[in-house]
Amino acid sequence: MDANDRLANRILQEQDEVLATLQLVHDDEELSQRLYEQLVDLLIEGMFLDLRRQHLDGRLTRTDYVSELARLADSCRQAGLLPLASRQR
């Protein structure tokens, strides 16, 4: 298993943990909000990792990879999702 796969697996585990925790703390609005922010960060990170995996697997050329990275980053920025909320604290 390479580093990209290990990171992707860690992100999936963290997503599962956040989703499970959200069910337990649904009455705590502040904690729920922080967990939702963390979940969004993990989902975004997963999208970037998926693009890298596609490039590493040869499904995206380097040019297409760079183009897709820029498109994804721009879309996330326009939606207010970059920089990642968890990195701003």
Instruction: Supply 70's token pair.
Output: 């820029």
Minimal CA–CA distance to 17: which of 52, 42, 53, 44? 42
Confidence grade of residue 82 (pLDDT, cut at 50, 70, 90): confident
Contact 45, 11 (CB under 8 A): yes
What are 51-67's pLDDT values in tens digits? 999 999 999 999 999 99
Task: Show the CA angle centred on residue 84, arms to residues 82 and 85, nearest 5°.
Answer: 120
pTM of the model: 0.84
